[in-house]
Amino acid sequence: MNHKREQRKNSFHIVNHSVPRRDGPAKVTGKATYVSDVKLPGMAYAKVLRSPYAHAKIASIDTSRARSRPGLFAVLTGNDLSGINPYYGHAVKDHPLIAIDKVRFAGEPVAAVVAQDERTAFEALEFIDVKYEELKTVLTPKEAVEKGAPLIHERPFEAGALRGFEGEVTAGRGSNLCQESHLKWGDTEAAFKQAAAVVEAEYYFPMIYAYAMEPYVAIAEVGENGVTIYSSAQHPFMVRHDLTTVFGLPVSQVRLIVPFVGGGYGSKSYTKIEPLVAACAWKAKRPVKLQLSVEEAMLTTRSDDALTWMRTAVDANGKIIARQARITMNTGAYAENSPLVCEKATNRCVGPYSIPNVQIDGCAQVTMAGESQIDELAAKIGKDPLEFRLANVAKPGEEFFPNMRPFDGTLKQDLDIAAEALGYKAPLRKGRGRSIGCSGSDAGAYPLTSTAIRVHADGSVSILTGSTELGQGSHTVIPQIAAEELGVPFERVRVISSDTA
């Protein structure tokens, strides 16, 4: 096994060899620039007043006392958005940059103030008077689809730019159901009747917040030449698209600059605070910075919690012959990327296994459920969990998903390498456990990123790419690949930081 790894490593000169991380020296010496380090001339600071209610009508907002405070430049509410399109969203444009008429989750922005410094802005929030008419809340997917449940959205929405999912987003059309996704092949019912063993169970994946050391932060400047945003966004080009919608500008007049990002983990994947801070800058007629606290960030985004019912069948030889699943996901107040998550999770519920009969209805967070059930099945038929996986994972060149490209992974080899590294077969001390799992996935989000390469007169190379450096090493790995393919030294290749200009 080690010989095979060495052979694969030696077939490349730069790829698959350790090189110094490009971002390492700047980060460990404190020279790396993050959005919070950026200071623009005349920059002001924004703070946000948030709803204490999960679902309520905004009866009135009185900002007169706040507007008279010294050092204040602007106050923004849902009544101050004439001249821009306040709605954005990747799947559907359902998300107002600030609450309009009602709030749909606890913590939703109701007002924002812009002041000469953060303290002045924070204190001004105390002088905004908001009266609410509390509405019945919907806290679970089951409650949301019950007859007579209060509607979260009362009107249909324009489609967004997000691609990669099938089906229609139905939220806002007399229902709280956002989207459905289905997957089926083979004859699952017949397979279950012939099964030697079946495991059936429910699994709950809770709502979580992907904690990053750097909470959301953005700086906006709006002027005659358009909108410029410094942001910690993972997908700057998708955020740019939302901003063109809000301000009615061509792509050429909206620029997103992403310096170093202090962690993302998916929580910064889509538009979050950028439209709000841009609207604040538009209103205040000066650059504005909005930096959220950790508490605010946790109110701004989270993963979708999901309840998964699943059953899986094996034959007498321990081969998986069928799987059924029903996944119900809580997308929350707004769609964001959940329709794509729904589509992807339906596909990923199959896992990296060769299963001839499949029926999946639903959506997200299913790998935990699927791999838990694999362990339970292995225990039921008396097989080692690793050996059970090795017997069922898809092989290279095998069509494990109908009408899709054959599987091109080497999961058996990868599982063996992982097991060896873990000391999988070594005896365990009392009270210790050990587990191993695997999953299969296609691309996580669309549109897929692209790269442009410039070879300069002196033979050096510049790479322009939509891949944001989040600490995962993309600004090191991408130059390795380019250097390998172009036959130039690794040191002669550099990535230009994420910038949509």
Q: Is the peptide bond before 447 cis (omega within 30 degrees of 0)?
A: yes
As a whole number, mean pLDDT of residues 81-91 equals 93
Q: Is the pLDDT of residue 123 over 70?
A: yes
Supply the mean pLDDT for the chain. 90
Q: Which two tokens stand for residue 392?
A: 């069922």
pLDDT classification of 364: cutoffs 50, 70, 90:
very low
Range 59-65 contact pairs with CB under 8 angstroms and sequence separation of 24 or more: 59/131, 59/132, 59/133, 60/129, 60/130, 60/131, 61/110, 61/111, 61/128, 61/129, 61/130, 61/131, 62/128, 62/129, 62/130, 63/111, 63/128, 65/127, 65/128, 65/129
Using one digit for the tens of pLDDT, what is the confidence trace for 211-249?
889 999 999 999 999 999 999 999 898 899 999 999 999
As a whole number, mean pLDDT of residues 293-312 equals 90
Domains 14-33+445-496 and 182-208+304-422 share a fold: yes
Low-confidence winner among 158-162, 252-256, 350-354, 383-387 (lowest mean pLDDT): 158-162
CATH 3.30.365.10 for domain 182-208+304-422: yes
Contact of 300 with 292, CB cutoff 8 Å: yes
Query: Is this structure's pTM higher than 0.85?
Result: yes
Q: Which two tokens stand for residue 257?
A: 């600059």
Q: Which fold has domain 14-33+445-496?
A: Aldehyde Oxidoreductase; domain 4 (3.30.365)
Using one digit for the tens of pLDDT, what is the confidence trace for 16-72?
899 999 999 999 999 999 999 999 999 999 999 999 999 999 999 999 999 999 999
Q: Is the pLDDT of residue 5 over 70?
A: no
Q: What is the pLDDT of residue 83?
A: 93
Q: Higher pLDDT residue, 447 or 318?
A: 318
Given the candidates 3.20.20.70, 3.40.50.2000, 3.30.70.330, 3.90.1170.50, the CATH classification of the domain at 42-136+212-300 is: 3.90.1170.50
Q: What is the pLDDT of residue 160?
A: 81
Using one digit for the tens of pLDDT, what is the confidence trace for 165-194?
665 677 667 888 888 888 899 999 999 999
Q: Give the span between the Cα atoms of 183 and 189, in whole angstroms.
A: 15
As a whole number, mean pLDDT of residues 105-113 equals 98
Q: What is the pLDDT of residue 303?
A: 83
Q: What is the pLDDT of residue 267?
A: 83
* In the chain, where the domains are located: 14-33+445-496, 42-136+212-300, 182-208+304-422
